[in-house]
Amino acid sequence: MTQKLDAIFQALADPTRRAILVMLLEDDMAVTDVAAPFEISLAAISKHLGVLTQAGLIQQERRGRVKWCKLDPSAMHDAWNWMHGFGQFDQTDLDALELSVEALLSEPTAQK
Amino acid sequence: MTQKLDAIFQALADPTRRAILVMLLEDDMAVTDVAAPFEISLAAISKHLGVLTQAGLIQQERRGRVKWCKLDPSAMHDAWNWMHGFGQFDQTDLDALELSVEALLSEPTAQK
DNA sequence: TGGATCGTCAACCAAATGGTTGAATATCAC
DNA sequence: GTGATATTCAACCATTTGGTTGACGATCCA
């Protein structure tokens, strides 16, 4: 597990990679489209996507000549879980937490 | 903010540093005591503590010849907050969240 | 078939990282 | 003051990282 966390945090430590993740939050994207907003080479982006895939933060699927990238939140969740032990949540956090909980509780399938 | 997150995630990407943070969860510690369980040199631990301090994950305070290290959860919290947008929380998380919320709500000073 | 597009690979480079050792600086305790 | 303890500093080293460029293998389309 610690090796997995190494990879996840390492992947998250780069601003370009975090920006990519945020973009993928919006929608799945092809490699070329991921690269478009950045000034670095396509090969560099390709490497970043490799790092993210290795860390399990995204999944890549090839369809034809296009390789689609989609977010995989489960790895992020592992990191989140590890950090969770450290949080003494203050009021600000509490608000966010309550919103999350309430949203889930109000879903049709949810039950107390 | 992104530079701050760079530093935080970078700091968290090393297993030795994560282990140190877990140790400090238990109690504040002197540098030498932090170093004790590890096989690497004291100087290396000192560097790790520097990285953690730089990232804002711990605070160091010198008293006499001893430098005390204590956890500072606020930086962790920044990272946690960034990640929060990515989480589709499943039932397992919900349980943990509820516990946190309820614990806070049941504190004397807490109010709905 | 042939040209354009998508993406990776390989080789290379500079800078950062995690480690070492040995010397230096404070502080404490006698 | 002397010696032991706590911590950092400086110089060094090997490896990793994030980037480049140019060539390459697939795939689409006309």
pLDDT tens-digit profile of B19-31?
A: 999 999 999 999 9
Q: How many CB atoms lie within 10 A of CB A21?
A: 22
What is the structure's pLDDT at B97?
Answer: 52
Domain at A2-75, CATH class: mainly alpha
Cβ distance A89 to B100 less than 8 Å, yes or no, reads: yes
User: Residue A60: in which H helix or E strand, if any?
Assistant: strand A58-63
How large is the average pLDDT for residues B67-92?
83
pLDDT tens-digit profile of A16-60?
A: 999 999 999 999 999 999 999 999 999 999 999 999 999 999 999
Nucleotide with the nearest C1' to A42 CA: C7
**Cβ neighbours of A2 in B, within 8 Å:** 15, 18
A8 touches strand D (CB under 7 A): no
pLDDT of B44 > 50? The answer is yes
Q: Give residue A85's pLDDT band: very low, low, confident or very high (50, 70, 90).
A: confident
Pick A87's closest partner by Cβ from B2, B13, B73.
B73
What is the structure's pLDDT at A22?
Answer: 97
Pick among 2.40.50.140, 3.30.70.20, 3.40.50.300, 1.10.10.10: CATH of B2-87: 1.10.10.10
Q: Give residue A88's pLDDT band: very low, low, confident or very high (50, 70, 90).
A: low
Q: Give residue B87's pLDDT band: very low, low, confident or very high (50, 70, 90).
A: confident
Q: Which residues contact B87 (CB under 8 A, 6 or more apart)?
A: A73, A76, A77, A80, B93
Edge-first strand listing for the sheet containing A66-71: A29-30, A66-71, A58-63
What is the structure's pLDDT at B103?
Answer: 45
Domain boundaries, chain B: 2-87
Cβ distance A15 to B6 less than 8 Å, yes or no, reads: yes
Average pLDDT, chain B: 85
Angle between helices B2-12 and A15-26 (to 10 degrees): 110
List the single best residue of B12, B52, B92 to mutate versus A (max A Cβ within 10 A): B12
